[in-house]
Each structure stands twice: as structure tokens, then as C-alpha cells.
Amino acid sequence: MRKANQIFQGAVDAFAEKGFDRATMDEVAERAGVAKGTLYYHFVGKEELICFLMEEGIGQLSSAVAEAVAQTDDPQGQVRAAIGAMVAYSNENRKFCQLLVKCIWSNAERQEQFREILQSYFDRLTGILNHGIHRGVFQPQPMEWAPSAWFGLVTIVILRVILQGQATDQERLVDYLYTQYMYGIIGRDIKTPN
Amino acid sequence: MRKANQIFQGAVDAFAEKGFDRATMDEVAERAGVAKGTLYYHFVGKEELICFLMEEGIGQLSSAVAEAVAQTDDPQGQVRAAIGAMVAYSNENRKFCQLLVKCIWSNAERQEQFREILQSYFDRLTGILNHGIHRGVFQPQPMEWAPSAWFGLVTIVILRVILQGQATDQERLVDYLYTQYMYGIIGRDIKTPN
Amino acid sequence: MRKANQIFQGAVDAFAEKGFDRATMDEVAERAGVAKGTLYYHFVGKEELICFLMEEGIGQLSSAVAEAVAQTDDPQGQVRAAIGAMVAYSNENRKFCQLLVKCIWSNAERQEQFREILQSYFDRLTGILNHGIHRGVFQPQPMEWAPSAWFGLVTIVILRVILQGQATDQERLVDYLYTQYMYGIIGRDIKTPN
Amino acid sequence: MRKANQIFQGAVDAFAEKGFDRATMDEVAERAGVAKGTLYYHFVGKEELICFLMEEGIGQLSSAVAEAVAQTDDPQGQVRAAIGAMVAYSNENRKFCQLLVKCIWSNAERQEQFREILQSYFDRLTGILNHGIHRGVFQPQPMEWAPSAWFGLVTIVILRVILQGQATDQERLVDYLYTQYMYGIIGRDIKTPN
DNA sequence: TATGAATGAGCGTTCATTCAT
DNA sequence: GATGAATGAACGCTCATTCAT
């Protein structure tokens, strides 16, 4: 198990920097500190390693979001908690988040393999929104687009932050993303009646 | 010029489907309907072809946005026009838009090459936002994140739509994106007054 | 004919620097100041151009030697005149001489094509030696090797001089080559009884 | 090491026949009896393989000469021993010697890479000559040309012999080269006194 | 005569994968 | 379990040659 974990880390490192296709198995092995053959002892091949990575990572992210959301029943509080969890996760797993955003749509074939994993994450986001709509707090929305919008908004900003490389005030970032997503660019004071 | 244009189309086709790295120059040539050597007669190499593609495409998108925005002075109207232009462009250039979103962050080295091009597009978005803020219509925002948020929101939803493949009511999509971006998930009731 | 000559010069330039195989027809055309198609209008192909070059060049060298040798009947004088002609020719045609030495044995197939041309040059050298031997001035020698020895001695030193690039005292060079070839490293005074 | 040696042999074979540029890595691999990828596992690339070949080969030749020369202190004996070693080496390594002469000046870039290796060999020849000059046995000579002259004389004759392909009386060849180099075409009667 | 856009066979190189140890 | 030498299919790219103008 030791080695398998080393490989996981090495793979995230290598893939995040070079992308799935340009990172070689040699590089993965080197960053993982194992011999190339060992990669194939633990994983069937490169594509399987990539799949494992994505499943594992998105699963973790999804769990983190679920856990955060479970703390409150208030729809707005849930959205804030979810965004908070996303930002926190991305901060602790910069490499993986880079990888996630950069490579998730890289290629039509892999697309197919990730769809299921990603769908479960989107379903979670959809659930949160539906809860708020059901409560009458959020407006009814076209649900075929809503999770993508949320995902895109949060994810691309986070990627920007990661790529910039400089330290960021997490609190402020969550605040911005939450406000933007909840109230748009027009802003809170115009419309939060509560 | 004839051939160069064929190559452009073939390259967009091939790269959109397979990604920059998995699409081979043979495939590009085949889809363009030219011999492989012809690719290299018109472009220095694969990376240069990729760069040319991105510059050309983002340039077109950026111009389309600029043109749409120029029609009105009203900040909200400008945002709506911009989103309308984005959706329209993506509808007319599905392949390129796929390519844009899927591949723009693919790889650290290319990242660098695209930064300048993408920045000019982001600057355009920033300009629109600043105009609205100046007018007091939009809330002041952290401008290091604002264009990314806009870009991410619109782009990822559009990508979803394109990948789904089914025909979409453009009007309704623009409506959704505009409302979401302008008022967030909460504030639909304060619709655009026009 | 203008163009054909330009091509000749361009080809010598390009081939001398890069060798027959690494110099491209594009480079030849560029250095000749003609379009690539023009090369093929005047010459059947690359190999034919190479052959033409070698025949022309060796022919010129051979003629220069013949002319110089014709001036005297004295065997030693003939050798000296021949070496003088070789050095003079190499000085006026540095590029071609470089080409000659560097590329003449480059490749088994071309070898075959040059053999005849080169043989005529070797025959000329053989003739000079035979004349001296017949007169009893030169020692009888294994004639299958003698012209090669002469050719190698003179040619490799000349190449060295050309490659060094610095200006050389022609007189001194001829002196050295003549003495070395005529009397060996032991030197003249020990053995020239006359 | 097994494979590396096979590659060495295959490379010498292929390059000797076709020249560095026309021999392909496929041919090298085939003659070496290994897969093409194996070539690149052991050597960085074609040019590095070429360099390794030349260094190794000239190194061996140089060592053989050094060893032969070390047997005697007599200048003329040293020259004879050196030429004997050259001929012997060329007889045992026909392919490499072909390669050496045919390709050593093939191309300006490679020129530069070989200069150092070749220089060490020329230095050895220069050392032998200086010894004889110091002893007063050889005439003082322009040392910038002397090793080239020796090298050219011996080498080109040897190449001729190799290319002719027929069996040669080594003894007689050494005799001829020695006499020619030591006494020139004139002075055979003053033979080595041994 | 002269051109240069277009071609495609062929090259050097890479890299995911295998397998004997 | 773990290794790394060996493999070969496949890639990006080159360049001699052709041909419509």
C-alpha cells in the first residue's frame, strides 16, 4: 500500500504539470520514487491510473462537500458551506485541483470514463440547489445547466488562483464566490430582503 | 490561402475531438483533405498551428463580443449582449468552442503561450464590468477574479450544452446565463427592466 | 546558362558546408538565388547535380595539373608543378576542394559513380610517376598504391589548411608538400645526391 | 553490456557502408540484431552514437599506435612500428577504418565534435615526429601540417586497399608506406639500416 | 524558362507496455 | 512484490520531387 500511495502522489504531480498525455510513465515513476515496472504492478496501465486518480479525487471532493453541507439545513448556508469546502479542498490539494480542471474534458474517450464520476458530483450540487428551490429560497432554474454553472464559476476562479501561485485569503475568496453565485454582479444589498 | 483555411478547419475538428496531444498531424491532414507535408508548408509545426488556432479563435470571439457590446451604453444591456455574442459564437463554432474550453489549460508550457491571447479577452470582460461599476450599477468586485468567474460560468455551461449535442433554445440559454450572472440563484425577481 | 552557373556555385557552397546528404535542395536553391523548381529544370535530381559537380570540379583540377606538368620534362619539376597546381587550385576553389575531400568517399553507391572520374585523375598522377620512374629518377613503386599516397598526402594537408581558415603562405605549403613527398621526413640533404 | 556491444558493431557496419547520414537507425538496429527502441535505451540519439563510435574507435587506434611505439626508442623504428600498428588495426577493423576515413570530415557540425578526439591522435603522431627531430634523425618540419600529411598518406592508401577488397600482403604494404613516408619517392636506396 | 505550392515516403525519436529476474 | 532492460508501434517532422501555372 505504501507504494500505491507513492504512485498516486507522483501521478498527481506529473499529470498536473504536464497533462495526462504529455506526462510519461517514466516521469510518474520518478516522482513517485518507484521503478517503472512497479507502476504496472499496481495499475493495469496509464489510462487505468488516470481513472483511479480522478475517481479518488472527485470522490474526496464530493465527500468534503457532502460533509460540509450536512452541518446545516439552511439553503444559503449549504451553498456557502459547499463553496467553502470546495475552496478548502482546492487549497489542500492544489495539484489535484489543477489536474481536475485542466484535464477533465481533455479527450472524448476519457470523457466517457469520467462521466459517471463527475455526474455523481453534479448530482450532489443539484441536490443542494433543489433543496433551496423546494424551500422557496432559490429561484426555479433549468436544472440541466445549473450545476455546470456553479461548477464552472467556482472551478475556473479557483484554477486562476492556483495558477497565479500566490497565497490567497481563503475567507475572502469564499465570500466572493458565494456572493457572486448567490446574488450575481448586481450584488447582495439590492436584493437580500431578509 | 485556400489550403491554409482547409487546414484550419481540419485542425479544429481533430483537436476538438481528441485534444491537442492525442490528435495527430496525420489526422489533421486527413480531416483537412491535404497531404501531411502541406501542413508543414503552411505552419512551422504542431505547436505553432495550435497557437495560431487559439489566437484566431479567441480573437474572433473577442471581436464578436466587442461588436455586440458596442451597441449599447447600458451596463446590463452590455452584459446581456456580451453573453448573447458568446452563445451565438459558440453555436456557430461548436468545434472551436469545445477546443477552447477543453484544451486551454491543458499544459503548463502552452499555458504560457496562450496567456497573452486569453488575457486580451479577459481584459475585454473586465472593461465591461468596470463600466457598470463606474456607473454604480454593478457592485465593486475583486477584479482579479471577476472575469474568470464570468468566463467560467458561461463557458462551462456552453461546453455542457455542446457536449450534450442536442439542439438548444439559444434565447433561453442566454436568458439563463444572463440572469444567473447578473442576479445569482436568488434574485431572479429583479429582472432586467426592458 | 546564367542560372545553371548560379546553381553550380550555390550547390558547391551548400554541399561543402553541410555535406551532400545534409544539405537540402532548398538550401542549394537559396544559395544559388533561384527557385527550387529551377534546380529540377536544369538538373534531373540531387544525385545528378552532385555527379555533375564532382565531374566538373575534378575535371578542372585534373586539367590544371596537366597544364602545369606540360611545362617541363623534368620528373621532379613535374611533381613540383603538379603539387603547385593542386595547391593553387585549392586556393582558388576552397569550397570545392573541401567538398571534394569531405564527400568523395561518403557513400558506397556514389562511390561507384565517382570512380571513373577519380580514376582519370589518378591515371594522370600515375603517368607523372611512371615518367620519373622510366627516367630512373624515382624509385620503382607499387603503382596500385602510389597515386593514392600522393593524393592522400597532398589532399589531407590542404583540407587541414582550408578548414583552419587562416591565410597560408602558398609557396611554403608547396615547398613542404613537395619535399615531404619527394624526400620523406628524413629530408632532402641526406639523399639528394645531385 | 551485451546489447551495447551489439549496437556498436551494427552501427559500425551500417555507417561504414552507407555513411552517417544515409544509414538509418532502423538499419543500425537490424544489423545489431536489436529493436530500434533498444538503440535509444543505450544511446541518447544518433549523433551521440556516432560520437561514441568515433571516440571509441580512434581511441583504440591511438592506443594501438602508442603501444607499438613504446617498444623502441629509435625514431625510425617508432615510425615503422606506428605504421605497422595502423595497418594491423585497419586490417582487423576494416569496417571502422572505412568509417573513419569516409566520414570524419563529413559535416561541419560533427567536425567540431570530432576535433578533440582526432586532435589527441594527431598529438600522438606529432610526439613521435618531435622525438625524431629532437634526435636529429628527422628534418625539422612545419608541425601544423606534418601529422596531417602522415595521416593522409597512410589513411588514404589504407582506404584504397580496404575498398578494393582483395587480400593484401600486410608486410609489403607497411614497407611501402614506411619507405614512402620516410624517404619519399626518390630515396628508397637509403633504406632503414636494421 | 522558371516558379513555388503541394506531396508523401521515410526518418529520428518517444513511450506505454512487457517480462525475465 | 518489485525491478528495469528491452521492445515496436506510432508520432512529429523533413525533404527530394512533381506539376500546374
- CA–CA dist C31, C12 (Å, integer): 9
**Nearest Cα to Cα of residue B107 among B27, B53, B51:** B51
Measured from the Cβ of residue A65, the count of other Cβ atoms closer than 10 Å reads 23
In a mutagenesis test of the D interface, which of C180, C188, C190 is the best target, namely the one with the most D β-carbons within 10 Å? C180
Q: D37 CA to chain C: closest CA distance, Å?
A: 24
Residue-averaged pLDDT of chain B: 92
| Residues 37-56 of chain B whose Cβ lies under 8 A from any Cβ of chain A | none
Non-local (6+) Cβ contacts of A90 within 8 A are A97, A158, A161, A162
Non-local (6+) Cβ contacts of B46 within 8 A are B25
Asked whether residue D12 falls in the same domain as residue D59, the answer is: no
In a domain, D193, yes or no: no
- Residue among A17, A21, A145 whose CB faces B157 most closely: A145
In a mutagenesis test of the A interface, which of B176, B185, B190, B191 is the best target, namely the one with the most A β-carbons within 10 Å? B185
Asked whether residue C34 falls in the same domain as residue C5, the answer is: yes
In a domain, A117, yes or no: yes
Whole-number Å distance, CA B37 to C1' F15? Answer: 10
**Chain B touched by A181 (CB under 8 Å):** yes
User: What does the H/E/C string look like for B49-67?
Assistant: HHHHHHHHHHHHHHHHHHH
Whole-number Å distance, CA B41 to C1' E9? Answer: 16
Asked whether residue B90 falls in the same domain as residue B21, the answer is: no
Q: Which nucleotide is nearest to A35 (CA to C1')?
A: F3
What's chain C's Rg over C-alpha atoms? 18
- The single-letter code of the amino acid at A52 is F
Q: A49 CA to chain B: closest CA distance, Å?
A: 17
CB contact under 8 A, D139 and C163: no
Asked whether residue A155 falls in the same domain as residue A67, the answer is: yes
In a domain, B193, yes or no: no
Instruction: Give pLDDT tens digits for B157-182.
Output: 999 999 888 888 999 999 999 999 99
Q: C111 CA to chain D: closest CA distance, Å?
A: 10
Residues of A in contact with B106 (CB under 8 A): 19, 102-103, 106
The H or E element containing residue D187 is none
Residues of B in contact with A138 (CB under 8 A): 185-186
In a domain, A124, yes or no: yes
- CA–CA dist A20, A189 (Å, integer): 44
Residues of C in contact with D107 (CB under 8 A): 18-19, 22, 102
- Cβ proximity of C33 and C44 under 8 Å: no
The domain of A55 spans 48-186
In a mutagenesis test of the D interface, which of C156, C163, C169, C191 is the best target, namely the one with the most D β-carbons within 10 Å? C156
**Nearest Cα to Cα of residue C158 among C37, C71, C61:** C61
In a domain, D118, yes or no: yes
In a mutagenesis test of the C interface, which of D153, D171, D181 is the best target, namely the one with the most C β-carbons within 10 Å? D153
Instruction: Give pLDDT tens digits for B20-66.
Output: 999 999 999 999 999 999 999 999 999 999 999 999 999 999 999 99
In a domain, A129, yes or no: yes
pTM reported for the whole predicted model: 0.90
In a domain, D194, yes or no: no
CB contact under 8 A, D103 and C106: yes
Q: Which nucleotide is nearest to C18 (CA to C1')?
A: F15
Residue D10 is part of a domain; what is its CATH number? 1.10.10.60
Q: What is the pLDDT of residue B165?
A: 82
Instruction: Give pLDDT tens digits for C119-157.
Output: 999 999 999 999 999 999 999 999 999 999 999 999 999
Q: D12 CA to chain C: closest CA distance, Å?
A: 14
Cell of D12: 559500425
Between the alpha carbon of residue D23 and those of residues A60, A101, B56, C109, C110, the distances in Å are 55, 46, 42, 12, 14
Asked whether residue A4 falls in the same domain as residue A86, the answer is: no
- The single-letter code of the amino acid at C161 is V
Residues of chain C with pLDDT under 70: 1, 188-194
C contact chains, 3+ CB pairs < 8 A: D
Residues of D in contact with C173 (CB under 8 A): 145
- Cβ proximity of C188 and C179 under 8 Å: yes
**Nearest Cα to Cα of residue D85 among D9, D12, D6, D150:** D150
**Chain C touched by D17 (CB under 8 Å):** yes
- Residue among A142, A157, A184 whose CB faces B182 most closely: A184
Residue B191 scores a pLDDT above 50: no
**Nearest Cα to Cα of residue B111 among A179, C91, C166, A163:** A163
D34 touches strand F (CB under 7 A): yes
Residues of A in contact with B160 (CB under 8 A): 144-145, 148
**Chain D touched by C155 (CB under 8 Å):** yes
Asked whether residue A6 falls in the same domain as residue A22, the answer is: yes
Q: What is the pLDDT of residue C192?
A: 38
DSSP state of B105: T
The H or E element containing residue A160 is helix A146-164
CB contact under 8 A, C183 and D187: yes
CB contact under 8 A, A185 and B182: yes
Number of domains chain B is built from: 2
- The single-letter code of the amino acid at B150 is W
- Cβ proximity of C33 and C46 under 8 Å: no
User: What does the H/E/C string look like for chain C?
Assistant: CHHHHHHHHHHHHHHHHHHHHHCCHHHHHHHHCCCHHHHHHHCCCHHHHHHHHHHHHHHHHHHHHHHHHCCCCCHHHHHHHHHHHHHHHHHHCHHHHHHHHHHCCCCHHHHHHHHHHHHHHHHHHHHHHHHHHHCCCCCCCCCCCHHHHHHHHHHHHHHHHHHHCCCCCHHHHHHHHHHHHHHCCCCHHHHCCC
Q: Which nucleotide is nearest to B38 (CA to C1')?
A: E6
**Chain D touched by C21 (CB under 8 Å):** yes
Asked whether residue B84 falls in the same domain as residue B151, the answer is: yes
Asked whether residue A21 falls in the same domain as residue A56, the answer is: no
Q: What is the pLDDT of residue C190?
A: 42
Q: What is the pLDDT of residue D3?
A: 87
Residue C173 is part of a domain; what is its CATH number? 1.10.357.10
Three-state secondary structure call for residue A19: helix
Asked whether residue A8 falls in the same domain as residue A93, the answer is: no
Residues of D in contact with C174 (CB under 8 A): none
Whole-number Å distance, CA C123 to C1' F21? Answer: 49
Asked whether residue B85 falls in the same domain as residue B156, the answer is: yes
Three-state secondary structure call for residue A158: helix
Is chain D in touch with chain C: ≥3 Cβ pairs within 8 A?
A: yes
Is chain A in touch with chain B: ≥3 Cβ pairs within 8 A?
A: yes
Asked whether residue A34 falls in the same domain as residue A89, the answer is: no
Q: What is the pLDDT of residue D191?
A: 42
Q: D163 CA to chain C: closest CA distance, Å?
A: 9
- The single-letter code of the amino acid at C64 is A
What's chain B's Rg over C-alpha atoms? 18
Asked whether residue D28 falls in the same domain as residue D109, the answer is: no
**Chain C touched by D80 (CB under 8 Å):** no
Closest residue of D to C142, CA-based?
A: D176
In a domain, C159, yes or no: yes
Q: What is the pLDDT of residue A44?
A: 95
B193 touches strand F (CB under 7 A): no
**Chain D touched by C119 (CB under 8 Å):** no
B41 touches strand F (CB under 7 A): yes
A contact chains, 3+ CB pairs < 8 A: B
Whole-number Å distance, CA B106 to C1' E1? Answer: 51
- Residue among D18, D173, D187 whose CB faces C184 most closely: D187
**Chain A touched by B132 (CB under 8 Å):** yes
Q: B43 CA to chain A: closest CA distance, Å?
A: 22
Whole-number Å distance, CA D3 to C1' E21? Answer: 17
Protein-contacted bases of chain F (C-beta within 7 A): 1-20
Residues of chain D with pLDDT under 70: 1, 188-194
Whole-number Å distance, CA A31 to C1' E18? Answer: 22
- Cβ proximity of D175 and D84 under 8 Å: no
Q: C63 CA to chain D: closest CA distance, Å?
A: 22
Note down pLDDT in tens along chain A; length 194 residues: 688 889 999 999 999 999 999 999 999 999 999 999 999 999 999 999 999 999 999 999 999 999 999 999 999 999 999 999 999 999 999 999 999 888 888 788 888 888 888 999 999 999 999 999 999 999 999 999 999 999 999 999 999 999 888 888 999 999 999 999 999 998 765 443 34
